[in-house]
Structure 1
Amino acid sequence: MHPSTADPATDALLDLIPFGEMEPAALTVVAANLQAVAGLPTRIRAVRPTPDDALIATRHQFDAVKIITALDREPHGAPFRMGILQRDLCIPILTYVYGESQLGGHAAVISLHRLHHIDRRITAERGAKIALHEAGHLLGLEHCREPGCLMRFSKQLDQLDLLPMRFCSACEYETARLLKRASVNRRP
């Protein structure tokens, strides 16, 4: 945790940072679920330009690791930062990712690109599930084996759609414990 760089003017533990054009409703749903489901006080920041320095032109995708690295280097704001964009994400060893985060770190990024559904509510719900999953990783949670847990790895959208908007009891307990520790560590 970067307690010395936390913004004391806010109680937010996570800054949700939109990159490029973003559906406002999807952004609101993601932030609301980070707060309601994970108990993670979230602040939506101003829209930033798409991070073109992270573009892998040959793949027409954005390198999630480069975005995370840039977010992690920011000196001010909430202790945790999550970028969100409509463009496709990847990491060099995978064709695509819905999201990526630093396990027990400070920064994550998610993409709504592959989550689109004709029903905007489903797109927003999928985004919220990915954001909650990546927030769990930020707090230090690894993938869970429980079938009904948001920390279970979902490779396909049909797997993601089957997950309820909640953590299993063990991951919920750990989330609350780790959030309490994060809140205490950020106090001056």
Structure 2
Amino acid sequence: MHVDIVPVGEVDAPVKREASAGLRTVYDCEVTVHDAQPVPDGSYDANRDQFRAEEFIELASHVGSGEKNIAITPKDLFYRRRNYVFGLAYLDGNGSVISTYRLQTSSDGGFSNRSAEDIFSDRVRKEVVHEIGHTLGLEHCDNKRCVMNFSPTVREVDVKEENLCGTCQRQVL
């Protein structure tokens, strides 16, 4: 499998490296990083002061050169009535997106004494692995440690591991 990372807006090099590392580690896939793209026209919702996640998925799908493509952006994303999303993907689709905007909280809720930078790196890896998992047909998993567990807060992202549980692994690997 080939996954193309599509940076949208100003995405720092360490974020791209962590995303690549997470995907290679969990899915043992080829990863490329596309040229940076501008934020999609019409994706900004002034009433919410946020960006529509679907527009970023469409961009990744059309611009990316992989079998699976994931947009990464520092913009704050929302989907439908949700206040925000860390990422979004359509089951079995080829496009997905993650936002680093809300992953940059300085603390992991007291789980460790690791640096904010290390915690942020973990979150980026977990979210790209999670969203690409959806494109591979994985739904949310009930196992709180599995990367495919639904995690609406950073604290829940921090609790789960970067890897797929055995049940999810058997479905895709």
Aligned equivalent of 1:97, options 60, 85, 96: 85
Q: Given the alignment of the two structures, is residue 31 of structure 1 paired with residue 20 of structure 2, yes or no? A: yes
SS in 2 for 1:84: strand
Q: Deviations over 1:85-140 (max 9, x none)?
A: 00100012211100000101110010000000442221121011011110100000
Amino acid at match of 2:84: Y
SS in 2 for 1:53: coil
C-alpha RMSD over aligned residues: 1.5
Residues 54, 62 of structure 1: 8 Å contact kept: yes
Aligned equivalent of 2:57, options 68, 72, 75: 68
Structure 1 residue ranges (4+ consecutive) displaced by more than 4 angstroms after TM superposition: none
Aligned equivalent of 1:88, options 59, 64, 76: 76
SS in 2 for 1:159: helix
SS in 2 for 1:37: helix
Of 126-135 and 63-72, more deviation after overlay is shown by: 63-72
Distance in 2 of aligned mates of 1:175 and 1:134: 13
Amino acid at match of 1:125: D
Residues 30, 125 of structure 1: 8 Å contact kept: no
> Please, what TM-score do these two structures have when normalized by structure 1?
0.82
Unmatched 5+ stretches in structure 2: 107-115
Q: What is the match of residue 170 of structure 1?
A: 167
Q: What is the match of residue 128 of structure 2?
A: 131
Q: Given the alignment of the two structures, is residue 141 of structure 1 paired with residue 130 of structure 2, yes or no? A: no
CA shift for structure 1 position 51: 2.1
Unmatched 5+ stretches in structure 1: 1-11, 177-188
CA shift for structure 1 position 72: 2.5
CA shift for structure 1 position 56: 1.1
- Quote the sequence identity (%): 30
Q: Given the alignment of the two structures, is residue 21 of structure 1 paired with residue 10 of structure 2, yes or no? A: yes
Amino acid at match of 2:117: R
CA shift for structure 1 position 53: 2.3
CA shift for structure 1 position 165: 1.5
Q: Greater share of helix residues, 1 or 2?
A: 1
